[in-house]
Structure 1
Amino acid sequence: MKPIIFIAAIALLATAPARSQPLVDPNKVAPEYREAAEKRRAEQLRQRECALKADLEKVLPRDRTAFLNQCLDTMAAKQ
């Protein structure tokens, strides 16, 4: 039993922590993909802004998806 626990502990320590997706930098992509990268970056910024609003309003995890979808829809309607 102890070897299994030891192996499990080593496996957990050997894994890298999950990181969020970094913001797309349009200047680091090929010129033919720059327009798509700019659109993706704008979308990422909108998503981060809505996530920040959800954190500030202390939205429950079960309601977070609905809140984020509503926030993104209202931002899209404004533009």
Structure 2
Amino acid sequence: MKQFIIIIAAIALAVTAPARAQALVDPNKVAPEYREAAEKRRAEQMRQRECALKADLDKVLPRDRTVYLNHCLDTLAVKQ
């Protein structure tokens, strides 16, 4: 019985789809009244991705990643 449950659990894990990252917002694919908000969201997503890439390149530990990303985003906000 125990082996049967383990086999079922393994099959369930193998069949599930991997989680996807949130796709970039495309302002051209939203209704005109929401385009400005979509453009702002896309700009924010690009800043977040840029900081995440910097964190990867600097090999920031997972425990320090949030602090690093917040500092990076704050630095980018000051520059603009």
Q: Under TM normalisation by the shorter chain, which class is it?
A: over 0.9
**Runs of 4+ displaced beyond 3 Å:** none
Q: Report the more deviating stretch, 2-11 or 62-71.
A: 2-11
Measure, in 2, the Cα distance between the counterparts of 1:57 and 1:6: 41
Q: 1:14 maps to which residue?
A: 15
- Percent of aligned pairs with the same residue? 81
Deviations 1:1-51 (A, max 9, x none): 111011101110121100100000000000000000000000000000000
Measure, in 1, the Cα distance between the counterparts of 2:10 and 2:57: 36
After superposition, the CA RMSD in angstroms is: 0.6
Q: How does 1:1-79 map to 2 (within 5 A)?
A: 1-79=2-80
Measure, in 2, the Cα distance between the counterparts of 1:67 and 1:75: 12
Measure, in 2, the Cα distance between the counterparts of 1:22 and 1:31: 20
TM-score, normalised to structure 2, is 0.96
TM-score, normalised to structure 1, is 0.97
- Partner SS, residue 21 of structure 2: coil
How many residue pairs end up in the alignment? 79
Structure 1: give runs of 5+ residues left out of the alignment. none
Q: Which amino acid aligns with 1:41?
A: R
User: Cα offset for 1:53?
Assistant: 0.5
